[in-house]
Amino acid sequence: MSFADDQSYLSKDIADVDPDVAALLAAEARRQGETLEMIASENFTSNAVLQAVGSVLTNKYAEGLPGRRYYGGCEVVDQVEQLAIDRATELFGCAHVNVQPHSGATANEAAYMAVLKPGDRVLAMALAHGGHLTHGLKVNFSGRLYEFHQYHVRREDCRIDMDEVRELARQTRPALIVAGASAYPRVIDFPAFRAIADEVGARLMVDMAHIAGLVAAGAHPSPVGIADITTTTIHKTLGGPRGGMVMCTEELASAVDRAVFPGLQGGPLMHVIAGKAVALGHALTPEYRQRQHQVVANCAALAEALTDAGVSLVSGGTDNHLLLIDLSATELTGADGETRLDDAGITVNKNGIPFDERPPTVTSGLRVGTAALTTRGLREDEMREIGAIIAAALAPQASADDLAALRVRSRAIGDRFPLYAGVESGTPVG
Ligand code: DSN
């Protein structure tokens, strides 16, 4: 029988069809289970989300919106997308939401496109002080298309300098002010941003990608209803599949929808939208809310353990799911610290800290988050133990043998909280 006549390949297991990729999926599942995942923007999504994302919906084109598509055969995916929309609306209380953005960056692009013209002025947080590359970095589309001005944190306490925000807003008269960060360990005062935006006649956008799960659970104040546009990813604290979402006022609904499609994207990823629906469904449960509060409690416990062990933290602590270790007074760089923690079985990322004198490829900081490990079931006791491991790994005298011993301790903690029972292949169960 020729290949063209053999339809069986359609239904075979990946291990039979492509052992190379299958082996890599299994290796990644092992890596995720055997190390302590503390990258602040990562999380573990559920088997149910993996199933949705690995489903036949990947086969479907559905340009347009539910009930208004450019393709036939959309009667099922229409219902899927509507479920995601309804759940996002219930969860965040937004007037309108578009669940199609492929990523957080695209969600931000769509938000800008909905309310700005190229060349318009925007005020946002500097990347070096905790912002994001889509908040006006010169080499990013945002910095190339729009005239971004940047606000900062105060040197004395590393909190957002709202006096500077107001001053810059008065000077530059931006069309848009952006609040939201990817490396800021403190609560963001959305009403204060709103007041400044109103004073200068700007719209307010909040990028809540990092804190969306906390917002969903009431563990961080919500920007929805305060900002004109709120963007988020689905995969950070929110815990869903990779992707983005834009919420906005009714007034901006059609501008946002048109910016997403046909402005920026073609066909939406319907399998991912199904995963978003599942994740948003999880987020509506009391258990989810409890876990999000635990994320914050875990981060506070970790911060306390690190501080007690003499490790310095940017702003002296945390109110949310992440903290920033400040290595600026030590010989160790952020890059060194990332490698040391990798060797000790803990995955984090080097991160610039405010007023960092080292370059972005080296940095003086480490960003550490508790969302993923909280999803895995770890609590304050484990966080205190992890704090001790991190402090020992960053100690000036830590040797390769010490790091290897710390790795055994990290592995032992992970072993007490098995990840994805039955998903050793790295693919969904069932
Ligand atoms: N790269 C993400 C983060 O790590 O925070 C933001 O897009």
What integer is the mean pLDDT of 388-397? Answer: 97
Predicted confidence band at 430 (pLDDT cuts at 50, 70, 90)? confident
Predicted confidence band at 8 (pLDDT cuts at 50, 70, 90)? confident
Taking the CA of residue 39 as reference, the ligand 1 atom at the shortest distance is 4
Predicted confidence band at 13 (pLDDT cuts at 50, 70, 90)? very high
The 3-state secondary structure of the chain reads CCHHHCHHHHHCCHHHHCHHHHHHHHHHHHHHHHCEECCCCCCCCCHHHHHHHCCHHHHCCCCEECCEECCCCCHHHHHHHHHHHHHHHHHHCCCEEECCCCCHHHHHHHHHHHHCCCCCEEEEECHHHCCCHHHCCCCCHHHHHCEEEEECECCCCCCECHHHHHHHHHHHCCCEEEECCCCCCCCCCHHHHHHHHHHHCCEEEEECCCCHHHHHCCCCCCCECCECEEEEECCCCCCCCCCEEEEECHHHHHHHHHHHHHHHCCCCCHHHHHHHHHHHHHHCCHHHHHHHHHHHHHHHHHHHHHHHCCCCEHHHCCCCCEEEEECCCCCCCHHHHHHHHHHCCEECEECCCCCCCCCCCCCCEEEEECHHHHHCCCCHHHHHHHHHHHHHHHCCCCCHHHHHHHHHHHHHHHHCCCCCCCCCCCCCCC
Ligand 1 in reach of 41 Cβ (< 6 A): yes
Q: Which of 63, 189, 336, 385 is the catalytic position? A: 63
Mutate to test the pocket of ligand 1, among 108, 182, 211, 245 (most ligand atoms within 8 A of CB): 182
Dump pLDDT digits (tens) for 330-379.
999 999 999 999 999 999 999 999 999 999 999 999 999 999 999 999 99
pLDDT of 232 over the 80 cut: yes
Dump pLDDT digits (tens) for 28-79.
999 999 999 999 999 999 999 999 999 999 999 999 999 999 999 999 999 9
pLDDT of 2 over the 80 cut: no
Instruction: Determine the distance separating the centroid of ligand 1 and the alpha carbon of 132, expressed in angstroms.
Output: 7
Ligand 1 in reach of 104 Cβ (< 6 A): yes
Per the annotation, the verdict on 242 as an active-site residue is yes
What global pTM score does this model have?
Answer: 0.97
Q: Which residue's C-alpha comes closest to atom 2 of ligand 1?
A: 41
pLDDT of 105 over the 90 cut: yes
Per the annotation, the verdict on 330 as an active-site residue is no
Q: What is the per-residue pLDDT for 1?
A: 55
Predicted confidence band at 247 (pLDDT cuts at 50, 70, 90)? very high
pLDDT of 3 over the 90 cut: no
Ligand 1 in reach of 130 Cβ (< 6 A): no
